[in-house]
Amino acid sequence: MSIPAGVHRLGPGSAILSVRTGRSGAAAKAGHDLVIRVNSWEASLEIGEDSAQTTMELTADATSLRVQEGTGGMKPLGDDDKANIHRSIDDEVLKRQDITFQSTQTEGAPGGGPISVKGDLTLRGRTQPVEFDLAIGAEGTLSATAVVKQTAWGIKPYSALFGALKVQDEVEVVLDGHL
């Protein structure tokens, strides 16, 4: 790891935090795979002298999620579609409750590879363990992808057309940025 030890702050000015969804069901062709950006969040990455001393915490405003892109589908997503998705996320999926993550254990790969991060993710007031790899590049770039299974947090994946079109249970939470 080539970044100096210490506390590094992240947020929308230095990194992008997004959620990527997929679709399933008999009518999957009618739906869209979404990229949803989290617009209000902050994180703290404390780099220790060795990777086991590294900690990470993150807080996100669940009402700040906005659809950035929708691929696939029978027709392009319009502004009304995006507004409806935003309302569904606020009212049905995340219920306007902040999202938090706190690392509990970190371990570096031999030779300076990605840091394995384990921690507690809280969604809708329910906390569950999650793990992911945090890659930190020589130029201070960083990236991570965590797979979150919605039902593990008591979230019923969105569905339409009497269940023939569903958001897949597993979504990806992606962090890309620069320290």
Question: pLDDT tens digits for the chain (179 residues)?
Answer: 456 788 999 999 999 999 999 998 887 888 889 999 999 999 999 987 776 788 999 999 999 999 999 999 889 999 999 999 999 999 999 999 999 999 999 987 666 678 899 999 999 999 999 999 999 887 889 999 999 999 999 999 988 787 778 889 999 999 999 88
**pLDDT (0 to 100) of residue 30:** 83
Task: Please check whether residue 60 lies inside any domain of the structure.
Answer: yes
Residue 171 lies in a domain: yes
- 147 forms bridges with which residues in the sheet? 172
Residue 168, H or E segment: none
Both tokens of 5, joined, read 């030890």
Q: What six digits make up the tokens of 3?
A: 């970044």
Q: Look up residue 69 and give its two tokens.
A: 């892109």
Q: Give, in order, the Cα–Cα distances in Å from 39 to each of 8, 67, 142, 164.
A: 19, 10, 18, 31
Domain membership of residue 38 (yes or no) is yes
The rounded distance, in Å, linking the Cα atoms of 17 and 168 is 19
- Please give the Cα distance from 50 to 167 (Å, whole number): 40
* Structural domains counted in the chain: 1
The CATH number assigned to the domain holding 153 equals 2.40.128.110
Q: Is 85 helix (H, G, I), strand (E, B) or coil?
A: helix
Specify if 78 maps to a domain: yes
Q: Tell me whether residue 1 is in a domain.
A: no
Domain residue limits at 99: 6-178
Helix (H) or strand (E) holding 88: helix 79-88
Q: Report if residue 21 sits inside a domain.
A: yes
